[in-house]
Chain A
């Protein structure tokens, strides 16, 4: 079955440490997205990528970085510059005019 795989499901970060969240899709979608979800805040867009080797900042990109070297992969790095990284992170993908698909999320916590 086609879908989006996010790993790990739970992740812990120490102060001053960078961590990378994985997102892989086998839906052959061009566009991929990263969202951050906090209670009562809905989904806020961090970064998105429309094609390989290209990506754009979303609404809350500070403290995050991404790469898009392959169509099926869009990893997100939460850097030490992100002062409040504890959240639920969702990866998505879509084609033109079609609904967005989502992975099952990664919950990041600070030790």
Chain B
């Protein structure tokens, strides 16, 4: 079974500083990877996804992530954060179709609360 570890439960940063939110996964087969953002009392919104192809993935709101298969990581980065980026961020993984496992289940990390201070 796959698992996801988000190494930091909280990350405080100052406005306009760069940020990296870390995500490591565990799986014996190929996976798809996702980052979601959640604002208070709302559902989750997709930031970006890695299905195949280039390992550097660009998403919405200026975020990007890099898939590193050898390190089983999918860290999220933004070069300059804004106050409005304050939210909780979730990394998620699903097995690749035809990998021999269930493609329907998405496994989430426990989330990282990003707080951007003025």
Contacts and interface: CB of A to CB of B under 8 A. Distances in A.
Interface size, B (range): 20 to 34
Given A99-B46, A105-B41, A107-B41, A42 B104 contact: no
Contacts of B97: 96-97
Interface residues of A, number: 27
A97 B104 CA distance: 8
A102 B44 contact: yes
A25 to B, nearest CB: 12
The 10 closest A-B pairs by CB, nearest first: A102-B43, A42-B110, A43-B108, A102-B44, A104-B43, A99-B46, A42-B108, A31-B104, A99-B49, A42-B111
Interface of B: 9, 32, 34, 36, 41-46, 49, 51, 90, 92, 96-97, 103-106, 108-111
Interface of A: 4, 6, 31, 33, 35, 40-43, 45, 48, 50, 58, 88, 90, 92, 94, 96-97, 99-105, 107
